[in-house]
């Protein structure tokens, strides 16, 4: 069994290279508020808990190399690569998430602006992955 994502785990949202975070590192902490399963006092995350990260992305700003005024995220969609689900541990028949979880995300934005204009796109994309585990795994030998 792999280590699991728990409440407070850092998740890093990386740009596809055409834009960058403005005033943020793109790192957020997942918020898990159920009490169904805990590891070292922290609730274990499921796919549905990624929604807290999507909500946290709203309002963040981004910039592009050709625009002087940053744009703003108005909505976010997070997709999980199924290999990141831990099928050995389920909560209400839903797989939990391992710290190896990755995926993609898309942002709906108020475009960045300059007199030069913004590219004709209302979305941006990138990938996400977890940071260092926030739990200690003890293995009996």
Contacts of 41 (CB under 8 A, 6+ apart): none
Residue 33 confidence (pLDDT): 86
Please report whether residue 122 resides in a domain: yes
Please report whether residue 92 resides in a domain: yes
For residue range 39-96, list pLDDT tens digits in order. 999 999 999 999 999 999 999 999 998 887 899 999 999 999 999 999 899 888 889 9
Read off the tokens for 64: 């592009």
Q: CA 93, CA 109: separation in Å to the nearest integer?
A: 35
Domain that residue 19 falls in: 10-130
Look at the pTM and tell me if it is higher than 0.85: no
28-53 as b/e, with b when 16 or more CB fall inside 10 Å? bebbbeeeebebeebbbbbbebbebb
For residue range 101-129, list pLDDT tens digits in order. 999 999 999 887 765 545 556 778 888 88
State the total domains in the chain. Answer: 1
């Amino acid at each position: 069994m792999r280590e699991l994502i728990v409440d407070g785990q850092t998740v890093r949202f990386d740009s596809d290279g055409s834009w960058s975070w403005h005033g943020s590192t793109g790192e957020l902490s997942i918020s898990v508020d159920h009490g169904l399963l805990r590891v070292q006092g922290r609730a274990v995350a499921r796919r549905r808990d990624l929604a807290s990260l999507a909500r946290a992305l709203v309002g963040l700003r981004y910039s592009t190399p050709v625009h002087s005024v940053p744009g703003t995220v108005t909505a976010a969609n997070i997709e999980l690569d199924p290999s990141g689900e831990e099928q050995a541990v389920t909560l209400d028949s839903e797989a939990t998430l391992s710290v190896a979880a990755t995926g993609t995300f898309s942002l709906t934005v108020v475009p960045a602006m300059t007199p030069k204009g913004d590219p004709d796109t209302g979305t941006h994309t990138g990938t996400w992955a977890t940071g260092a585990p926030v739990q200690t795994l003890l293995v009996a030998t």
